Structure 1
Amino acid sequence: MKTYAADYVIVGAGTAGCVLANRLSEDPDVKVILIEAGERDRHPYIHVPAGFVRLLDHPTVTWRYRTEANAQTSNREILFPRGRGLGGSSAINGLLYVRPFAEDIDSWEAAGARGWNFADCLPYYSRSETWTEGSGPQRGTNGPIQVSRVKNPPEICGAVVAAARQAGLEFLDDPNSTTRGPSVWYYQQTRDGRRRSSAARGYLRPAMARSNLIVLTGLQVTKLEMNDTHVTGVCATTAGGELATIRAQREVISCAGVIGTPKLLEISGIGDRDVLDNAGIQTRVALPGVGANLQDHYVVRLGFRVRGAGTANERSHGLALAREMMRYVVSGTGVLTYSAAIVGGFAQTLHANRPDVQFVIAPGSFAAGRIGVLENEPGISCGVWQMRPESRGHVHIRSKDVAASPTIAPSYLTSELDRNTMVEGLRIGRKIFSQPEIARFIVDETVPGRAVESDEALLQYVRENGSTVYHAVGTCRMGEDPMSVVDSELRVRGMTGLRIVDASVMPTITSTNTNATVLMLAERAAQIIRSPQAAGFANQRSTETV
């Protein structure tokens, strides 16, 4: 058995783990160990922006999760991608950088997460980024993550923007530095030139030369080591079965994500008694909120056949793809630099008093409207999701087996509001694509098709074809009530020596994409952990020599 020791032991090298590894190891007197179950981020598709579509169910760089079948989504098991390896989901996501609405973060404080309001969090959004297009009061210019505009978007994308303006949406030059109402804009990418700017590339790689930071890959954490209610370290195992103990002089910080963190707590005997009893695990700390409150954005796509405009479809096959590959190598431009979408928008349905639907519009279309294989003929797609769903699900272990996937039940569409909003969101998308500026390119609607017109038929399409947008949050939420798992300083309730820093602590989902907010959260957590006030929490440790 191998034994390691450090001041801070970080479990999970995803977005938050990479941020913390960098920031905590800035102090040369502090030793940090970062543990990752996956491997180094060497797969070439990770670094090519458009490569993300080939990674969503990859056998080594994802966990290959599926959701539990649900009657509201036609009893399908839905692919639920989570990154595995350095960078975590920031290494496989669609590169879209969108900050939330101020009201999203303000609602956290209103619900009991003291000090977590947008004004106090804004500096940490800025600190995490280098906005490559200039400076502004809300944008960062010296952060580890490079954020860029899409260069030279295809002509048809400009037509979509013009059509959205005809449909009543305001054009925003920078959606990340302004108050946002119903609007249309171009997505910004976490991209550094031709390469993805993941948390591993931006935060971890520059820090790995530090002698006080150790990065252990290929090591699966199997449980937390505890002395009563104080966490002293973790146990782990390699793929070959070799055991390791990693001890924490100050704290263990779980950054294992919205699935991995509640799983780790429950495997260690921390969680809801009924869940633990059913899994055959003795309860050590009763926290009924562990694994509850799962929230996610559920997306469904409109697809259109087009003419008179180039799209990614015909540029992604045969000789055209070979030319695009050469273009990417020579100039770092072209279709291989595209992310999950190029044009975005916020729309407001009749069910809300502010924007409640987001669009992801890409100059390409997928078979059956589901992200994956691009069609051969020219096409364009418009993804629609509800920004603040009411539906709540859960993540819970099934057994003691650490290798077994937990039950993932997002409970999509269980709220009537969610169902109604998705249907109206599709109608707004159709309205945009019927405007003169874009209609001149449209041959036909391929999915769901013009014949799918009634609310009932549209809802059935939503049920049968929707999927995750990879924005799951909330399974170890922050707050002060009995169902919260961590307090406002991200300390696990009723315990010492253990914090959680990842998307699982978000009380409610942000209206928009979540990666920018995880970066912010981890930046702020690093400052909290390094503050003098944190010393008291860290010093309440076991008398065991570590």
Structure 2
Amino acid sequence: MQQRYDYVIVGGGSAGSVLANRLSTDPSTTVLVLEAGRADFIFDPLIHMPAALMFPSGNPLYDWRYQTDPEPHMGGRRVFHTRGKVLGGSSSINGMIFQRGNPGDYAKWASFEGMEDWDYAHCLPYFKRMETTHAGADAWRGGSGPLPLERGPASSPLFQAFFEATEQAGYARTDDVNGYRQEGFAPFDRTTYKGSRMSASRSYLRPIRSRKNLDVKTLAFVTQLTWEGTRVTGVEFDQPGKRGQKVSAGEVILCGGAFNSPQLLELSGVGDPEVLAKAGVKTRAELPGVGDNLQDHLEVYLQHESRQPVSVQPWLKKWKAPYIGAQWLFANSGVGATNHFEAGGFIRTNDDVAYPNLMFHFLPLAVRYDGTGGGHEHGYQVHIGPMNSDVRGQVHITSDNPRKHPSILFNYLSTENDRREWVEVVRAARHILSQPAFAPFDGGELSPGAEVQTDQEIIDWIAKDAETALHPSCSAKMGTDDMAVVDPSSMRVHGTQGLRVVDASVFPSVTNGNIYAPTMMVAERAADLIAGNTMLAPENPPTYRAKAGLPLWPQGDPRNDAWNAKKDIPSSARVLAAADQGGEVR
């Protein structure tokens, strides 16, 4: 390891892996990645076998095991948050679902002060640059990026019943939730390839580890930024048996995620002076927005028993694990080669929203994310939760000890609108699962159960049973307003030099779906901003809108004007027909 690098990247997770790859493309640029977790050894099946995703959760070898403070609207219980403690970060242990979000999410981003160039047209080229889709490139999708994507087969009888039930319930199918039309139901894209997980590390770091200008250090826990005035000059970090190491940097880029990046900023004196003073930290740069605006998706499992032996539930029996492992290890096939999140979709639960506010993941088994609760013979379930909640939380340090987890509070269920949407979400999911297509399979609702019917009973069940969907974000948001932390034109931390943040913490608002894909897109775009490259030209293919005049924001908010001024987009059938004929959409 050298004593000085052009770029020191703190965190070798999703965003850090992208930046390491792109910034080290120039052989004259030196890059160091410091990852606090351990290496993602290629022979570790708990990382690379898709179906093993439940085992790292809660395991201290793989998981930082965060938890919230007592949530006041959830009976004072703490909600556990799994975060990856390994190279590749949470992309090495997540559910491998690849969802970009809705174009409306980026219209919302662009409506924030200073964020005009973060609309869908400017973000789309970077989504396309990072991916290789199973069907190849088109106006909406990429075909030659470092991240391969596979489409879930979703071919079992339970998946087919799910698709039929959604249509019977009055909802549409879509060809691609990441393409022209998100709204509707379809097989999902997954970050898997030939039966193995394709994490950010495996896709972006492993192929370029031999570059002489790139160093990657694991078990390297960064404790502090080093300063000269308001300029960051490097970092201090610990490794086993080597405490208090220092390295100098032309630039330090924080890629620790929605918990770690605000924590390190505050430990280093960047944040709200009152918060810092309480923790015994001297203020270097006053930025009251650090740690605020924290957002997430909460979810519940709506589970049914299956009367027919067509689920994958029996494969959860421990005595079958050796066979599953051997089949995956030697043939990259079988039950172990899928994440089982093969299909789902997006709907609007009311006519007052411009684009979907509910996401479904369908599973051909009934079990919690950590593998518990699967005592029945056969079952199926949907994971559901509002996508655009107006709930806001915060994450802040409580001491100057870098190894003490920060205080985390999301304030789940704290707003009237959030509680209203939760009732709509559960009723919409029950409507789908009660359709005739499921009649041959339905052995009764396991969770929440028939006794949960009224609005209040639904909210009480959610408060007792809901878990995080593991999408923490927005705690060091981009923008130019008084609460913004990061300059959207450069990713620099306001009021400092030589310091940038690139990860999910910089989102101004959480996107509609899983956040891995948007995090990678932000890192791809940030790499060009940081390196001073020519930015990819915006692209603006047609995208589906339910109808004009629906607000992104509350009624009367002037930020709705730009969105509602757009013309209605034609149906997907007309778009595809015109494309087939080589003509324009009219």
Q: Do both proteins adopt the same fold according to a TM-score greater than 0.5, normalized to the shorter chain? A: yes
Q: How many Å separate the matches in 2 of 1:97 and 1:533?
A: 27
1:304/1:218 CA distance change after superposition, 3 Å: same
Secondary structure of the 1:171 match is coil
| Contact 1:69–1:75 (CA under 8 A) maintained in structure 2 | yes
| Contact 1:297–1:469 (CA under 8 A) maintained in structure 2 | yes
Match of residue 144, structure 2, among 119, 142, 145: 142
Name 2:527's counterpart in structure 1: 526
User: Could you give the per-residue CA deviations for residues 285-321 of structure 1, whole angstroms, max 9, x where no partner exists?
Assistant: 1100000000000001111000224212112215544
Q: How many Å separate the matches in 2 of 1:285 and 1:99?
A: 33
What is the correspondence of 1:54-73 to structure 2 with a 5 Å cutoff?
Answer: 54-73=55-74
Q: How many Å separate the matches in 2 of 1:288 and 1:335?
A: 48
| Contact 1:53–1:372 (CA under 8 A) maintained in structure 2 | no
The one-letter amino acid of 1:497's match is G
User: Could you give the per-residue CA deviations for residues 51-96 of structure 1, whole angstroms, max 9, x where no partner exists?
Assistant: 1111111102111101111121121111101111210010011000
Name 1:541's counterpart in structure 2: none
| Contact 2:195–2:338 (CA under 8 A) maintained in structure 1 | no
What is the correspondence of 1:375-524 to structure 2 with a 5 Å cutoff?
Answer: 375-488=375-488, 489-524=490-525
Secondary structure of the 1:304 match is strand
User: Could you give the per-residue CA deviations for residues 182-216 of structure 1, whole angstroms, max 9, x where no partner exists?
Assistant: x1111111001111000000000111100000111
What is the correspondence of 1:11-90 to structure 2 with a 5 Å cutoff?
Answer: 11-42=10-41, 43-90=44-91
Name 2:556's counterpart in structure 1: none
1:374 Cα deviation after fit: 3.4
1:152 Cα deviation after fit: 5.6
| Contact 2:258–2:503 (CA under 8 A) maintained in structure 1 | yes
1:291/1:162 CA distance change after superposition, 3 Å: same
Name 1:129's counterpart in structure 2: 131
Name 2:234's counterpart in structure 1: 233
1:338 Cα deviation after fit: 2.7
Q: How many Å separate the matches in 2 of 1:203 and 1:263?
A: 26
Name 1:160's counterpart in structure 2: 162
Q: How many Å separate the matches in 2 of 1:115 and 1:281?
A: 35
Name 2:3's counterpart in structure 1: 4
Q: How many Å separate the matches in 2 of 1:304 and 1:370?
A: 18
Q: How many Å separate the matches in 2 of 1:428 and 1:67?
A: 29
Secondary structure of the 2:520 match is helix
1:532 Cα deviation after fit: 6.3
1:438/1:222 CA distance change after superposition, 3 Å: same
Q: How many Å separate the matches in 2 of 1:205 and 1:322?
A: 28
1:5 Cα deviation after fit: 1.1
1:504 Cα deviation after fit: 0.3
1:427/1:492 CA distance change after superposition, 3 Å: same
Structure 1, 106-115 or 520-529: larger mean CA deviation: 106-115
Name 2:197's counterpart in structure 1: 196
| Contact 2:325–2:336 (CA under 8 A) maintained in structure 1 | yes
1:451/1:265 CA distance change after superposition, 3 Å: same
1:50 Cα deviation after fit: 1.2
| Contact 1:155–1:309 (CA under 8 A) maintained in structure 2 | no
1:234/1:11 CA distance change after superposition, 3 Å: same
| Contact 1:303–1:381 (CA under 8 A) maintained in structure 2 | yes
1:340/1:71 CA distance change after superposition, 3 Å: farther
Q: How many Å separate the matches in 1 of 2:442 and 2:533?
A: 61
| Contact 2:255–2:261 (CA under 8 A) maintained in structure 1 | yes
What is the correspondence of 1:274-289 to structure 2 with a 5 Å cutoff?
Answer: 274-289=274-289
Q: How many Å separate the matches in 2 of 1:518 and 1:353?
A: 23
1:440 Cα deviation after fit: 1.7
Q: How many Å separate the matches in 2 of 1:67 and 1:16?
A: 24
Q: How many Å separate the matches in 2 of 1:523 and 1:304?
A: 41
The one-letter amino acid of 1:171's match is R
Structure 1, 11-20 or 234-243: larger mean CA deviation: 234-243
Structure 1, 327-336 or 156-165: larger mean CA deviation: 327-336
Q: How many Å separate the matches in 2 of 1:215 and 1:118?
A: 33
1:375 Cα deviation after fit: 3.3
1:97/1:47 CA distance change after superposition, 3 Å: same
The one-letter amino acid of 2:9's match is I
1:323 Cα deviation after fit: 4.1
User: Could you give the per-residue CA deviations for residues 507-546 of structure 1, whole angstroms, max 9, x where no partner exists?
Assistant: 0000111101111110000011111699xxxxxxxxxxxx
Structure 1, 339-348 or 444-453: larger mean CA deviation: 339-348
The one-letter amino acid of 2:198's match is S
Secondary structure of the 1:425 match is helix
Name 2:578's counterpart in structure 1: none
1:151 Cα deviation after fit: 3.1
Structure 1, 71-80 or 262-271: larger mean CA deviation: 71-80
The one-letter amino acid of 2:443's match is V
Runs of 5+ unmatched residues, structure 1:
535-546
The one-letter amino acid of 2:34's match is I
Q: How large is the Cα RMSD of the aligned pairs?
A: 1.7
Q: How many Å separate the matches in 2 of 1:200 and 1:481?
A: 34
| Contact 2:528–2:534 (CA under 8 A) maintained in structure 1 | no
Q: How many Å separate the matches in 1 of 2:371 and 2:416?
A: 26
Secondary structure of the 1:511 match is coil
User: Could you give the per-residue CA deviations for residues 313-347 of structure 1, whole angstroms, max 9, x where no partner exists?
Assistant: 11221554444334434442332123262221212
Structure 1, 201-210 or 523-532: larger mean CA deviation: 523-532
The one-letter amino acid of 1:174's match is D
1:370 Cα deviation after fit: 7.1
Name 2:363's counterpart in structure 1: 362
1:240 Cα deviation after fit: 2.9
Q: How many Å separate the matches in 2 of 1:290 and 1:479?
A: 12
Q: Give the share of equivalent positions with the same residue, in percent.
A: 37
1:410 Cα deviation after fit: 1.1
The one-letter amino acid of 1:283's match is T
Matched, 1:205 2:191: no
1:135 Cα deviation after fit: 2.8
Structure 1, 87-96 or 486-495: larger mean CA deviation: 486-495
Name 2:539's counterpart in structure 1: none
Runs of 5+ unmatched residues, structure 2:
536-586
Q: How many Å separate the matches in 1 of 2:90 and 2:370?
A: 20
Secondary structure of the 1:314 match is helix
| Contact 1:272–1:290 (CA under 8 A) maintained in structure 2 | yes
Aligned positions, number = 530
Matched, 1:316 2:330: no
The one-letter amino acid of 1:139's match is R
The one-letter amino acid of 1:530's match is A
Name 1:538's counterpart in structure 2: none
1:319/1:264 CA distance change after superposition, 3 Å: closer
1:209/1:373 CA distance change after superposition, 3 Å: farther
The one-letter amino acid of 2:361's match is V
| Contact 1:156–1:309 (CA under 8 A) maintained in structure 2 | no
The one-letter amino acid of 2:128's match is S
1:218/1:498 CA distance change after superposition, 3 Å: same
1:335/1:533 CA distance change after superposition, 3 Å: closer
Secondary structure of the 2:67 match is coil
| Contact 2:391–2:411 (CA under 8 A) maintained in structure 1 | yes
Q: How many Å separate the matches in 1 of 2:413 and 2:37?
A: 33
1:353 Cα deviation after fit: 4.0
Q: How many Å separate the matches in 1 of 2:28 and 2:372?
A: 47
The one-letter amino acid of 2:394's match is H
Q: How many Å separate the matches in 1 of 2:534 and 2:382?
A: 48
Structure 1, 234-243 or 251-260: larger mean CA deviation: 234-243
Secondary structure of the 1:37 match is coil
